[in-house]
């Protein structure tokens, strides 16, 4: 059955009605040179039975591993209520509700989401979400250039600990729109940006990006970094883990004036790891910058009878109206993921989220302490962390991780790939889902692997 | 019928310009433009001292249904802006040629002003638009 339910007759009638010969004629404006004949690498269609079989086989490859990998996506317990409510027919849509008269429930969910995220980040306004954390960083950089009209610069500086993946995505999206990206040096002893060196000797950039906790799990001196950036007229983009904000100071309170734009990956709030997506990005800012905020925004208003209601607002700068001059031409909201996040935050509440954050921090402390008791493993930094930390091994992390995986333990992220300058470094994470027994299982297995490889090495 | 003061110059982007004795030029949008946009809710103004090329945006006027650019009609430098529009964008609706002025500019080349339309020419331009 074709996915598009138009018969040949339907199509012919529609073409006749508008006076076009063929469907191809509708695409006349696109030059031949920009068209492609087919999509190489996209296999031919499978039927439902074949797809089901394929997905079962793929899922089985994941097995039931014990994962200590974080690095941007985090395994948290999701109360059953969250997806039970989210998948109800009334909510189960990824689409943005343009029709206020038919979408009050969905619009209110998004409005509640915006209120929660604004409150969590300590900012005044939130949009209805973006694709994911990485593209949110790119959108934040573009927004900063629009908002900071006093600056002549098009350069955005990432604090040294910012996720390299986020940096690459920002480069891919915003680099083609005239933005230049730089990375400030990381203090090798502490694994955070040194405020003294942060913007030293540079022409002042239009904006800086500070990730807290940074990609290595460490807590940056965000007050000093924020003030240093504001002192040279740069806007501050904060990239934050939403769970951590239940415990640490929100970006709205960084330094003297607070961050200007806050964004990040929303996945930890009720969205399963799910092989990497779909996730959602969040973005908040000060009220003064709301007109530069990309994406949908839901507002609360009153109808003709004075009854409260919800509607999309501040749409005049969106792509369906302002076309190429819109605040963004690639963003949408992730309606379904945002619904889950709203249910998650509503179920946990302020206290529940703080308990999740505290338990994650506590279990990570226990993990680091357990693993560094193994010979050949040490903690790379003495810097405070949230729920991730860097371990330094006496041999390449990849070899150790491969042996652990044979025992269904995913021992962390090998930093040798994106951060070769850190040596044999391993990024480990524990959330509230990792019990003391899980941590002991990892420690014992790691000791065995290090011992066995160590004796193999000495025998060789 | 639209209100088109005889002492102003006009562009086909529905902007008016008032040539002042001191050589500066005041820019705004016409009664026709504000009517087409509807109730204005926000005006994004340029920075004083900003140099703008002819055809580039000098301001953005936003109504509940659209955000539209106001283009610099000539190469110019911004010498003053109407800060009051931040709080009262509706001035543009109520008094487009007076309280609703947007910016004062210094032309790069005064000769460029000769290419602008007179009130009569703009009136004719509007009538042709209606056809």
Q: What is the torsional sign of CA A220, A226, A231, A236? A: positive
The nearest CA of chain A is from the CA of B40 a distance in Å of 11
Q: Is B23 among the domain residues?
A: yes
Q: Is the pLDDT of residue B22 over 50?
A: yes
Give the CB-side neighbour count of residue B4, counting CA atoms within 13 A: 20
The answer to whether the beta carbons of residues A182 and A158 sit under 8 Å apart is yes
The complex scores an ipTM of 0.75
For residue B13, give its domain range. 9-110
Vertex A100, ends A95 and A104: CA angle to 5°? 85
With bands split at pLDDT 50, 70 and 90, how would you rate the model's confidence at B103?
very high
Q: Which residues of B touch A322 (CB under 8 A)?
A: 66-67
* H or E element, residue A108: helix A104-121
What is the rounded radius of gyration, in angstroms, for the C-alpha atoms of chain A? 25
Q: Is B118 among the domain residues?
A: no
Which whole number is the average pLDDT over B53-76? 90
pLDDT tens per residue, range A144-174:
999 998 888 999 999 999 999 999 999 999 9
User: Whole-angstrom Cα distance, residue B11 to residue A418?
Assistant: 55
pLDDT tens per residue, range A319-371:
777 777 788 877 677 889 999 999 999 999 999 999 999 999 999 999 999 99
Say yes or no for a CB contact (<8 Å) between A325 and B69: yes
Q: Is B114 exposed, middle or buried, given 0-12, 13-18 or 19+ CB atoms closer than 10 A?
A: exposed
pLDDT tens per residue, range A396-453:
999 999 999 999 999 999 999 889 999 999 999 999 999 999 999 999 999 999 998 7
Q: Is B30 among the domain residues?
A: yes
pLDDT on residue A328: 82
With bands split at pLDDT 50, 70 and 90, how would you rate the model's confidence at A460?
very low
Domains of chain A: 81-344 (3.40.640.10), 351-459 (3.90.1150.10)
Q: Is B20 among the domain residues?
A: yes
**CATH number of residue B83's parent domain:** 2.40.50.100
For the whole model, what pTM was predicted?
0.88
pLDDT tens per residue, range A96-112:
777 888 889 999 999 99
**B51: nearest CA in chain A?**
A152
pLDDT on residue A457: 52
Q: Is B131 among the domain residues?
A: no
Q: Is B127 among the domain residues?
A: no
- Picking from A455, A460, A437, the residue whose alpha carbon sits closest to that of residue A375 is A455
DSSP secondary structure letters along B73-107: SSSEEEEEE-GGGGT-TTHHHH-TTTTT--EEEEE
The nearest CA of chain A is from the CA of B67 a distance in Å of 5
Structure tokens at A127: 């949009």
The per-residue b/e assignment along A131-147, b for 16 or more CB within 10 angstroms, e otherwise, is bbbbbbbbbbbbbbbbb
Q: Which residues of A touch B67 (CB under 8 A)?
A: 316-317, 321-322, 325
Sequence-distant (6+) residues with CB within 8 A of A140 are: A209, A237, A239, A261, A263, A283
Candidate from B47, B65, B69 with C-beta closest to A316: B65
**A152: nearest CA in chain B?**
B50
**A146: nearest CA in chain B?**
B44
What is the rounded radius of gyration, in angstroms, for the C-alpha atoms of chain B? 14
The answer to whether the beta carbons of residues A259 and A230 sit under 8 Å apart is no
Candidate from B42, B47, B67 with C-beta closest to A150: B47
What is the total count of domains within chain B? 1
Q: Which residues of B touch A149 (CB under 8 A)?
A: 47
User: Whole-angstrom Cα distance, residue A82 to residue A342?
Assistant: 9
Say yes or no for a CB contact (<8 Å) between A149 and B47: yes
């Amino acid at each position: 059955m074709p996915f598009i339910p138009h018969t040949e007759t339907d199509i012919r009638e529609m073409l006749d009605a508008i006076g076009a010969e063929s469907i191809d004629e509708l695409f006349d404006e696109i030059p031949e040179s920009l068209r492609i004949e087919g999509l190489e690498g996209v296999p031919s269609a499978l039927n439902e039975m074949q797809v089901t079989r394929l997905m079962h086989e793929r899922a089985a490859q994941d097995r039931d591993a014990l994962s200590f990998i974080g690095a941007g996506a985090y395994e948290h317990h999701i109360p059953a209520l969250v997806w039970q409510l989210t998948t109800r027919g009334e909510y189960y849509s990824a689409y943005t509700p343009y029709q206020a008269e038919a979408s009050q429930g969905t619009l209110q969910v998004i409005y509640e989401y915006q209120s929660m995220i604004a409150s969590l980040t300590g900012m005044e306004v939130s949009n209805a979400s973006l694709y994911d954390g990485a593209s949110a960083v790119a959108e934040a950089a573009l927004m900063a250039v629009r908002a900071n009209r006093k600056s002549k610069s098009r350069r955005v500086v990432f604090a040294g600990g910012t996720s390299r993946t986020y940096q690459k995505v920002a480069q891919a999206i915003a680099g083609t729109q005239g933005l230049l990206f730089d990375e400030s040096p990381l203090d090798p002893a502490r694994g955070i940006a040194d405020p003294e060196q942060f913007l030293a000797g540079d022409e002042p950039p239009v904006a800086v990006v500070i990730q807290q906790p940074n990609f290595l799990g460490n807590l940056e001196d965000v007050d000093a970094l924020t003030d240093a950036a504001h002192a040279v007229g740069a806007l501050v983009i904060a990239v934050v883990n939403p769970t951590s904000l239940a415990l640490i100071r929100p970006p709205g309170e960084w330094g003297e004036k607070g961050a200007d734009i806050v964004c990040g990956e929303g996945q930890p709030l009720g969205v399963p790891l799910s092989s990497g997506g779909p996730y959602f990005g969040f973005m908040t800012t000060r009220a003064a910058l709301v007109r530069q905020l990309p994406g949908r925004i839901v507002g609360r208003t009153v109808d003709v009878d004075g009854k409260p209601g919800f509607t999309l607002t501040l749409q005049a700068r969106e792509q369906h109206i302002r076309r190429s001059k819109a605040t963004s031409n690639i963003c949408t909201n992730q309606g379904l993921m945002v619904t889950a996040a709203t249910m998650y935050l509503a179920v946990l509440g302020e206290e529940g989220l703080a308990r999740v954050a505290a338990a994650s921090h506590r279990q990570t402390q226990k993990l680091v302490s357990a693993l560094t008791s193994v010979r050949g493993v040490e903690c790379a930094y003495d810097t405070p962390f949230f729920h991730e930390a860097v371990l330094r091994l006496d041999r390449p992390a990849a070899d150790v991780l491969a042996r652990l995986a044979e025992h269904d333990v995913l021992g962390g992220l090998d930093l040798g790939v994106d951060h070769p300058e850190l040596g044999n470094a391993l990024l480990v994470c524990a959330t509230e889902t990792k019990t003391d027994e899980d941590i002991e299982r990892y420690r014992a297995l790691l000791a065995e692997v290090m011992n066995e490889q160590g004796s193999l090495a000495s025998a060789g | 019928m639209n209100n088109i003061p005889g002492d102003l110059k006009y562009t086909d982007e529905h902007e008016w310009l008032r040539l002042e004795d001191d050589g500066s030029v005041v820019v705004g949008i016409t009664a026709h433009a504000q009517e087409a946009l509807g109730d204005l809710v926000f005006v994004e103004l340029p920075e004083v001292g900003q140099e703008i090329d002819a055809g580039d945006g000098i301001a953005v006027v936003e109504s509940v249904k659209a955000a539209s650019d106001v283009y610099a009609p000539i190469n110019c430098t911004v010498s003053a802006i109407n800060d009051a529009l931040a709080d009262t964008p509706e001035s543009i609706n109520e008094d487009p040629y007076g309280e609703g002025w947007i910016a004062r500019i210094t032309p790069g080349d005064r000769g460029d002003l000769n290419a602008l339309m007179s009130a009569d020419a703009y009136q004719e331009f509007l009538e042709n638009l209606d056809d």
